[in-house]
Chains A and B, each alone.
Chain A
Amino acid sequence: QLQLQESGPGLVKPSETLTLTCSVFDGSLSNSNYYWGWIRQPPGKGLEWIGSIYYNRSPYVNPSLKTRVTISIDLLKSQFSLTLSSVTAADTALYFCARHDSDGYNLGSLDSWGQGTQVTVSS
């Protein structure tokens, strides 16, 4: 059964770079049916899509974050990662990784999620 697990620092200082990793268990990052994505949720607020990656294509990134976001994939480690630079308090959120059930044309629904990792930006 597919499992996704986020990991990373719980606390980041303003202006620093946040790096999160999603480990994928019992699933294949190179499966052509799936994209792999990052979503976040600020405290008490709704869900914001950050970006998603396919195993052999350039990632899609939310234009609102594009200048600060890098998403990469490591097939050998069965992981994909998010890097968010120049963080501010507005980046404080619960960060989720998830799998898209893609039809090859659209990213599709998010059918499996990690449990989420809380990131707080504070000095």
Chain B
Amino acid sequence: DIQMTQFPSSLSASVGDTITMTCRASQSITTHLNWYQQKLGKAPKLLVSAASSLQSGVPSRFSGSGSGTDFTLTISTLQPEDFATYFCQQSYSTPITFGPGTKVDIK
């Protein structure tokens, strides 16, 4: 199985900040990496697919990058609605696996 790690596990930030979180795969997954936002008790929402492709309707302050084993999700000019948990997921091979998440809360 491909193991996914994320860091930091949590971070505190203020509205207007720019934040970056990292996802690392245990082996190369080329660009088969997807990012999700999840708010408490809700279904995850796909933000970025194929490492850097922003989903329709997702604000442009979200951006993804990376390939191989290392990936980043950047949120620029953090908005109040961005405080949530972010998961990465590899779709390179089965079993599909998710990272443990990065929780973004208000400083």
Contact = CB atoms under 8 A, between A and B. Distances in A.
A49 B93 CA distance: 12
Of the four ranges (under 10, 10 to 19, 20 to 34, 35 or more), the interface on chain B belongs to 20 to 34
Contacts of A94: 41
Interface in A49-67: 49, 52, 60, 62-64
Interface string B81-99: 0000001010111111111
A62 B95 contact: yes
A109 interface: yes
Contacts, number: 61
Interface string A23-63: 00000000000000100000000111100100000001011
A96 interface: yes
A114 B98 contact: no
- Contact residue range for chain A? 20 to 34
A71 B23 CA distance: 30
DSSP majority for the B interface? Answer: loop
A21 to B, nearest CB: 17
B52 interface: no
A62 B43 CA distance: 20
Given A96-B43, A116-B43, A46 B95 contact: no
Contacts of B19: none
Interface string B36-54: 1000011111100110000
Contact of B44 (A37, A47, A52): A47
A46 B96 CA distance: 13
Nearest to B43: A113
A34 to B, nearest CB: 13
Contact of A46 (B42, B43, B92, B99): B99
Interface of A: 37, 46-49, 52, 60, 62-64, 94, 96, 98, 100-101, 106-111, 113-116
